[in-house]
Amino acid sequence: MKATHDIKRIAVNAILAFCVMVMGFVIFPTHSHAAYKYSHAVKKLKKNDAVIYGELYKPKGIKGKMPLIIYSHGLGGTCESGRGYAEFFAKKGVAVYIFDFRGGGSGSKSDGDTTEMSVMTEVSDLEAVLKATRKWTFVNTKKITLLGGSQGGIVSAIVAARNEKKVAGLMLQFPAFSIHDTVHSLFSDLEKVPDTYNLLGYITLGHEYAEDVWDYDVYHEISSYKKPVLLQHGTMDLIVPYSYSQKALEVYEDATLLTLENAPHGFTGDYDKKARRSMHSYMKKNHLY
């Protein structure tokens, strides 16, 4: 009897071993979660005669074309704010391009001055980046996602709406859909907007910044984007109130809002971890990886 039992046990173990090797997805998950290694290099682009400074994070060991995320920074910032996300997604097999808007901030390595910058000049910049990156031979043009924070969020939303066939995914962190209202709170009339003025105490802007959004209805335009959208916003955001993403949730046809209780403008610590998990889930769910 013992011999018979041992034979059955060996047979069962052999079958299990076969299943693990050949059909691991059925009995035991055998997918590797090892992080990809990646290269990191400066990659500048040209827009007419101007230079747009950028950096490319490209996963190694991937055969064929790969997904791409284009990250857009906020007002007064640089691509530095997207470095953590670039490393995070590159390790998951996604190429990431981060760049400085022309005149986007005092630390920008791109051409241009902050007094010449506006939401619409940044829209033009991002469209130029989108056009250029679609020509890169390693990019899967059917899996390009825009990721933007604050002003980079509103810019990404506008570009996605104007280029829906070219933008497969859209992730917006505390998007600055409030800019129109902010400008109107500062000036009662467009004619009263000076040639230069200070906003939020840290950046000098020009007349064009206010002029470009004075009569602009961002919610009307972004509603034309019908693909899935991920919104992320903190309830204690004092720069761009949470209510602006709530309204965006209503106008988008297919959107999800990650509400981060008590989070400010910008995510760190546990808020950042939740944001990253949310983005990862969004990318997986919508087959953007």
Instruction: Please tell me the distance from the alpha carbon of residue 85 to that of residue 172, in angstroms, as a whole number.
Output: 13
By CB atoms closer than 10 A (0-12, 13-18, 19+), residue 90 is buried
The model's confidence at residue 21, banded by pLDDT at 50, 70 and 90, is very low
Q: With beta carbons less than 8 A apart as the criterion, state whether 207 and 191 touch.
A: no
Q: Give me the phi and psi of 279, to 5 degrees please.
A: -65, -40
Contact 263, 235 (CB under 8 A): yes
Q: Which CATH superfamily is domain 33-285 in?
A: Alpha/Beta hydrolase fold, catalytic domain (3.40.50.1820)
Q: Give 220-264 pLDDT, tens digit per residue.
A: 999 999 999 999 999 999 999 999 999 999 999 999 999 999 999
How do beta strands 38-42 and 54-59 pair? Answer: antiparallel
pTM: 0.88
What pLDDT was estimated at residue 104?
97
Res 20 pLDDT > 90: no
pLDDT at position 116, please? 97
> Looking at residue 201, what is its pLDDT?
86
Report the alpha-carbon distance of residue 115 to residue 125 in Å, rounded.
Answer: 16
Give the confidence band of 34 by pLDDT, cuts at 50, 70, 90. Answer: low
CA torsion sign, 23 to 24 to 28 to 31? negative
pLDDT of residue 28 exceeding 50: no
| pLDDT above 90 for 7 | no
Tokens encoding 224: 């034309």
| CA 182 – CA 180 distance, rounded (Å) | 6
Measured between alpha carbons, how far is 28 from 76 in angstroms, rounded to an integer? Answer: 49
Q: How many CB atoms lie within 10 A of CB 206?
A: 19
Q: What is the mean pLDDT of residues 193-215?
A: 96
Q: What is the CA radius of gyration of the chain?
A: 23
- 3-class secondary structure, 144: strand
pLDDT in tens, 102-117: 999 999 999 999 999 9
Task: Say what the pLDDT of residue 23 is.
Answer: 35
Cα–Cα distance measured from residue 4 to residue 164, given in angstroms and rounded to the nearest whole number? 65
What are the backbone dihedrals phi and psi of residue 47, each rounded to the nearest 5 degrees, phi first? -125, 105
Torsion of CA 174, 178, 179, 184, to 10 degrees: -160
Judge whether 98 and 79 are in contact, CB under 8 Å.
Answer: yes
pLDDT (average), residues 85-94: 98
Inform me whether the pLDDT recorded for 30 exceeds 60.
no
Domain ranges of the chain: 1-31, 33-285
Q: Using alpha carbons only, what angle is made at residue 103 by residues 252 and 213, rounded to the nearest 5 degrees?
A: 40
